[in-house]
Amino acid sequence: MVTDSSSIAHAAYDSKIEGNVIFTQLDAAMNWMRKNSLWPMPMGLACCAIELMATASSRFDISRFGMEVMRFSPRQSDVMIVA
């Protein structure tokens, strides 16, 4: 009886993969990230604008959510943050 070693290795590999893994191409992943990240338009009114600026600093790090690109034109932004 001859067994294919690649099918055995593939079965062992598949048994370790759980439901939280997605296989895709890099281009598709990058396009998904660009599509789903929001580009805010900051509208700082008086002293509350300081808190808005602090969200881009290292302590709060708005870039974790893909929102570090601040657009100052309503045409280029997705969300308007009024602070």
> What is the DSSP code string of 30-76?
HHHHHHH---EEEE--GGGHHHHHHTTSTTT-GGGGT-----SSTTT
pLDDT in tens, 16-70: 556 666 677 877 766 776 677 777 888 878 888 888 788 777 777 777 767 777 7
Confirm if 49 and 83 have CB atoms less than 8 A apart: yes
Q: Is the pTM of this model over 0.75?
A: no
Q: What mean pLDDT do residues 64-80 have?
A: 77
- Return d(Cα 75, Cα 21) in angstroms, integer: 36
